Amino acid sequence: MAKEKIQFEVNGKNVFLEVDPDELLIDVLRDHLGLKGTKAGCRAGECGACSVILNGRVVTSCLIPVMKADGGKITTVEGLEKDGELDPLQKAFVEKGAIQCGFCTPGMLLSAKNLLDQNPQPSIEEIKVAVSGVLCRCTGYQKIIHAIHSASKTIPGNEV
């Protein structure tokens, strides 16, 4: 298959690549760009471990043909940290015991990040809805939900 040129922004950096147009975004992120934080759990868009933020929406990157990301803006788990400083969500996940095996953690963090970007003061119910596309078999979700809620309180203007 003829290679296609593609350009997008990943974690604030412009990327130019030649790809097979039938490649999936997850494989381009993992195999071409070495961003292995994005995980493949089911390759059917069900487990949400491969969730990334694409143009302000959370998508399951295992279902996205890479050409759909052309010209787009992507955030993966590796992009949450800014200048060596963890995102408040990452800190909250660490402190509130929201991590067990860690395989769903990137997808959870990105779903939560996108929620807080759009709704800085979500209710518990809104948090549940926002992360319901990511399956976690370890934690039972409660500590994840609490961590996200607690992180939302650290956003400037949200402090209680």
Partner 1 sequence: MEKEKRKKKVLIKEKVLGMPPVMEELSTVGKSTVRVDAYAKVRGKLQYGGDIDYPGALHGKVLRSPHPHALIKKIDTEKAKSLPGVVAVLTAKDIPGRNGFGAIIPDQPVLCGDKARYIGDGIAMAAAISEDIAIQALELIEVEYEPLPAVFSPIEAMKPDAPQIHEKGNLLTTGKIRKGDTDKGFKEADVILERTYTVPILEHAYIEPDVVIAIPHPDGTITVKGPMQAPFTVRRNIAPVLGIPINKVQCVQTPLGGGFGGKEDSPIDIGARAAVLAWKTGRPVRMEYDREEITLSTCKRHPMIITCKIGAKKDGTFVALEGTIYNEQGAYASLGPVIPPAGGVHAHAVVMLPGPYVIPNVKVDGYLVYTNHPYGGAMRGFGAPQVNFVHESIIDELANLLKMDPYQLRLKNCFELGSETATGQVLDQSVGLKDTLEKARSEFHWNEKWKPAPGLKEVENADKRRGVGMAIGWYRTSIGTFGDGCGVNLHLQEDGSVLIFQGLTEMGQGSYTVLSQIAAEALGVNIEDVRVVAPDTDAAPESGPTVGSRSTTLMGNAILIATEPIKKSLIESASELLAIPMERLVLKNRRIYDRDDPSRFVDLKEAARRCMATGRRMMGQGWYAPPRPSLNPETGPGSPYFVYTYSTQMAEVEVDVKTGAVDVLNLVATFDIGKAINPIMVEGQIEGGVMMGLGYALMEEVVMKDGMIQNLNLQDYIIPTALDTPEIKPIYLEYLNVHGPFGAKGIGEMPNIPAAPAITNAIANAVGARIYDLPAHCERVYMAIKKRLAEGT
Residue 39 binds to partner 1 (criterion: CB under 8 A): yes
Contact 53, 113 (CB under 8 A): yes
Of 2-10, 20-28, 67-75, 141-149: span binding partner 1 (CB under 8 A): 141-149
Cα torsion 126, 131, 135, 138: sign: negative
On whether the CB atoms of residues 14 and 24 are closer than 8 A, the answer is no
Beta carbon nearer to partner 1, 90 or 114: 90
Smallest gap from residue 138 Cβ to partner 1 (A): 5
Q: Phi/psi at 55 (nearest 5 deg)?
A: 50, 45
Closer Cβ to partner 1, 71 or 102, answer by number: 102
d(CA 23, CA 66) in angstroms, rounded, equals 6
| Residues lying near partner 1 in the complex (CB under 8 A) | 30, 35-44, 46-47, 49, 76-78, 80-81, 86, 90, 93-97, 99-106, 109, 127-129, 131-145
